[in-house]
Amino acid sequence: TISGFSLSCSLSSFGHSVPLKSVSVEVGVQGHVASVNSTLQYENQESNPVEAIFIFPMDSNAAVYRFLARIGDVEIEAQVREKEKAKEEYDDAISSGQEAFLLEESDESSDVFRLSVGSLPPGQTASVTVGYVSELAVQADHALRFCLPAVLNPRYTPAGTQELTLMGKVPGAQAGDVPYTLSLTMDIYSPSSIQSVESNCPLTPLEFFSQDKTQAKVSLSPGHQFDRDVELLLYYSEPHQPMAILEAGQPGVQSGSLMGDTVAMLSFYPEIHVEKSSPMMSSGEFIFLVDRSGSMGCPLNRSNDNESRISSARDTLLLLLKSLPLGCYFNIYGFGSHHESFFPESVEYTQTTMETALNKAKSMQADFGGTEIFQPLQNIYSKPCLPSHPRQLFVFTDGEVGNTKAVVDLVKRHAHSHRCFTFGIGEGASSALVNGMAEGGSGHPQFITGSERMQPKVMQSLQFALHPVAKDIAIKWNVAAGMTVNPLSPPVNMLFNLQRVIQYFQLTEQVCMSLHYTVEDKALENKLGFSMKPKTDGSMLLHRLGARKAIVDLEGKVREGDDKSAKERAVELSIQSGVSSSYTAFIGVNRENKEPVQGPLLRRNIPVCQPMMLKSKRFSGVLQTFFPQFNYSTPCIFSILWPTSHLQVCSEDPMLELIGLQKADGSWDLHKSLTSILGKKEEEVTKASPGKPEFSSVWATVLAVLWLHGHKAESRDEWQFVATKAMTWVRRILISPTPFRKIKSLCSKNLCFRV
């Protein structure tokens, strides 16, 4: 694992540099989809020509479709070729002194790219533009999230030396010393009115261009230092509105091909109604897999250096353990360079097993070294599933692994036996890993970045796991005779309440379609009709997203080995659509320059600039692939930078202290620890009890729930299952239950208790 030193964000080597001058980003949002063009401007200030090697991350769901390079006044539009042929063409070009560009996707992870800029002459300026499209992720509060990773910041290290491992020789750059500027502009077109746009960075005021507020523009405020992820949250007035968008094929392209036919994007938000009398699922096997590698000792976010990722994970485990229903089974795994579990097998959820797990969780530290998730997953899958207890797997990680595709494939192979919910913690978490595992395991991914709390997102996923899901999903088309509808997306196996599902199809005529599914043996249907009037703006945005979905599906079949022609079809589709794949690359050569570039060619290797990524085993694995001649075995220094021995294990949050006192059956005992949180004396609370002394636990439980309602209403998402379990216990204990309103009134009257 590479140590966590910050490198200079110029392209530097032995006092020489090819500094990055500016980064300019233009974003166009259409509903739930973003089109992005990022332009990076460089200048070679050395006396010899250089070959610059850039490595940067990309959203795993993004479809990279454009790679444009400019050297001086010459513009080079790169083309997609089969990867080995593209590399040969690139090597031939730079060996003959031609200027050339190569953009390729990592073999290990679809969210890491390598960009090679060859034979950049002395004193020459160069810019590269990478264009891609991606779907915007839906957040727990229904916002749509766009993220521009700070890890696009490149650094230079010369090839053939040990500078990548001996980082102390390279001058560091503080956040305020980043030697380039970032500008970002976003144009938004929404199907419903735009309510607001929020960001972790200063923005210009939102500017509207239509009376119905469906068109708007916003930009980063001038002077932004690109030292952290840039995140924008878009809020629409009707975020769950189903919609269908049609996009015409490319003019002049033969009908019957993807780029020649119309493509439809269908977006649904099924609302699954759960009867109020329907009990929360009391069966299930819940397995929590927690990353305990060194990087989990890093601060959770920049605004709070005192809370580490592992401490937040501990608090989250407390909430989860208190929220589980009686009758289920559970186990907790920690993983790093090795793995261990709290119990040899999953155990029944009781007061004893809950207390044992809580005591073990309190001592969890980020002390397991590297990040090896494949082995613990194999261990979990090797254990037989429990009859009548569906397996639910919750994975917490900062996403820093080196074998992403192998891990995702492993989850897919066991998709029939479990659901997988994932949580990417902190900036730089691999979207390929977090999204891939959740999609492969028919679960739901969540990302915790910036100043976000982990707990609300985890509890939302627990709600998905505990409530009924839609199964037997089928999309039925009402089509005219002779019409064909070809799916571009893999089939959807499960749907959660108000979870967005987007599907892409290649079609030719006017259609009507419906989404069919079952919930608790009840057949349901959503209909959506639309006419064949596709938009013809020439962006081909939907075609490229659909192509990317199909390519990823084909790549998975290649790795599984069950489709011999899948690789050939993936390459063909990638070249036809101009969308990147792991088997192809973008290649561009400046053939207008008749004068070969003179002088020895110096290679400059540029890893990412985000310090957190530098500690990543995922990133070091990618470097090992791209630069196998280096040794990436420097000692881990996480324990020095973020010592775990002094971390607070016990939370000072009164809500978590209160929840920590709850018993496995959902009740609280009436004692001093509880009443001190309520702000009352034990004698005072006991005297005010409206019931008999033997019902003191009922009284204590009701008070605890009312305290949560009155003092922590804004955190309802975090304690809702705790409260539900508590009141279920109260109703079960009381043969003639006192009405909740009466107890609430007594609390206010006798204890001056705010509710």
The confidence score (pLDDT) of residue 302 equals: 62
- Collapsing DSSP to helix, strand or coil, 612 comes out as helix
- Name the pLDDT band for 304 (thresholds 50, 70, 90): low
The confidence score (pLDDT) of residue 305 equals: 60
Q: What is the mean pLDDT of residues 58-63?
A: 84
Contacts of range 556-559, beta carbons closer than 8 Å, 24 or more positions apart: 556/408, 556/409, 556/412, 559/405, 559/409
Asked whether the predicted pLDDT for residue 579 surpasses 70, the reply is yes
Greater model confidence, 287 or 74: 287
- Name the pLDDT band for 606 (thresholds 50, 70, 90): very low
Greater model confidence, 169 or 110: 110
For the ranges 55-69, 78-92, 156-170, 537-551, the one whose mean pLDDT is highest: 78-92
Q: Residue 155 contacts by C-beta under 8 Å, 6 or more apart in sequence? A: 7, 8, 9, 10, 11, 12, 170, 606, 607, 608, 609
Burial of 101 (0-12, 13-18, 19+ CB in 10 A): buried
Rounded-to-integer distance, Cα 540 and Cα 176, Å: 39
- Name the pLDDT band for 61 (thresholds 50, 70, 90): confident
Whether the CB-CB separation of 71 and 590 falls below 8 Å is answered with yes
Asked whether the predicted pLDDT for residue 543 surpasses 50, the reply is yes
The confidence score (pLDDT) of residue 616 equals: 40
Whether the CB-CB separation of 20 and 101 falls below 8 Å is answered with no
Rounded-to-integer distance, Cα 523 and Cα 540, Å: 36
Rounded-to-integer distance, Cα 143 and Cα 197, Å: 9
Asked whether the predicted pLDDT for residue 186 surpasses 90, the reply is yes
Asked whether the predicted pLDDT for residue 444 surpasses 70, the reply is yes
The confidence score (pLDDT) of residue 109 equals: 78
b/e 141-159 (16+ beta carbons within 10 angstroms → b) = eebbebbbbbbbbbbbbbb
- How confident is the model over 350-370, as pLDDT tens digits? 999 999 999 999 999 998 888
Q: What is the DSSP letter of 688?
A: T
Nearest-5° Cα angle at 71, 66 to 77: 25
Whether the CB-CB separation of 259 and 459 falls below 8 Å is answered with no
Rounded-to-integer distance, Cα 385 and Cα 390, Å: 7
Whether the CB-CB separation of 372 and 406 falls below 8 Å is answered with no
Percent of the chain with pLDDT over 70: 76
Q: What is the DSSP letter of 535?
A: B
How confident is the prediction for the chain on average, in pLDDT?
77
- How confident is the model over 711-733, as pLDDT tens digits? 888 888 889 889 989 988 888 88
For the ranges 154-158, 177-181, 316-320, 489-493, the one whose mean pLDDT is highest: 316-320
Instruction: Give, in order, the Cα–Cα distances in Å from 398 to each of 129, 313, 521, 617.
Output: 29, 11, 38, 11
Whether the CB-CB separation of 389 and 419 falls below 8 Å is answered with no
b/e 406-420 (16+ beta carbons within 10 angstroms → b) = ebbbbbbebbeebbb
- Collapsing DSSP to helix, strand or coil, 641 comes out as helix
Q: What is the mean pLDDT of residues 666-687?
A: 88
Whether the CB-CB separation of 721 and 459 falls below 8 Å is answered with yes
Label each residue of 277-304 as H, E or C. CCCCCCCCEEEEEEECCHHHHCEEECCE
Rounded-to-integer distance, Cα 94 and Cα 52, Å: 12
For the ranges 266-280, 509-523, 667-681, the one whose mean pLDDT is highest: 667-681
Nearest-5° Cα angle at 437, 435 to 440: 100
- Look up residue 244 and give its two tokens: 């269908």
Q: Which of 590, 606, 595, 599 is nearest to 46 (CA)?
A: 599
Q: Residue 397 contacts by C-beta under 8 Å, 6 or more apart in sequence? A: 291, 371, 373, 422, 423, 424, 425, 429, 433, 434
Domains of the chain: 12-242+574-636 (no CATH), 285-462 (3.40.50.410), 654-751 (no CATH)
Q: Residue 277 contacts by C-beta under 8 Å, 6 or more apart in sequence? A: none
- Name the pLDDT band for 604 (thresholds 50, 70, 90): very low
The confidence score (pLDDT) of residue 508 equals: 67
Asked whether the predicted pLDDT for residue 584 surpasses 70, the reply is yes
Asked whether the predicted pLDDT for residue 637 surpasses 50, the reply is no
State residue 181 phi and psi, 5-degree precision: -115, 160
Instruction: Give, in order, the Cα–Cα distances in Å from 152 to each of 56, 121, 134, 277, 373.
Output: 5, 24, 17, 51, 26
Asked whether the predicted pLDDT for residue 750 surpasses 70, the reply is no
Determine which helix (DSSP H) or strand (DSSP E) holds 197, and give its type and residue range.
strand 194-199
For the ranges 15-19, 70-74, 162-166, 227-231, the one whose mean pLDDT is highest: 70-74
Q: What is the mean pLDDT of residues 84-100?
A: 89
For the chain, give percent helix, strand, coil, nearest 5. Answer: 30, 30, 40
The confidence score (pLDDT) of residue 64 equals: 94
Q: Where are the alpha helices (DSSP H) in 450-495?
A: 454-466
Q: Residue 252 contacts by C-beta under 8 Å, 6 or more apart in sequence? A: none
The confidence score (pLDDT) of residue 594 equals: 56
Q: What is the mean pLDDT of residues 195-199?
A: 94
185 CB-side CA count, 13 A: 7
- Name the pLDDT band for 1 (thresholds 50, 70, 90): very low
The confidence score (pLDDT) of residue 457 equals: 86
Rounded-to-integer distance, Cα 331 and Cα 111, Å: 31
Burial of 122 (0-12, 13-18, 19+ CB in 10 A): middle
Nearest-5° Cα angle at 106, 446 to 38: 70
Q: How far apart are the first and last CA of the chain?
A: 51
For the ranges 41-45, 240-244, 455-459, the one whose mean pLDDT is highest: 455-459
Asked whether the predicted pLDDT for residue 402 surpasses 80, the reply is no
State residue 201 phi and psi, 5-degree precision: -125, 155
The DSSP annotation for 64-117 comes to: EEEEEEEETTEEEE-EEEEHHHHHHHHHHHHHTT--EEEEEE-SS-TTEEEEEE
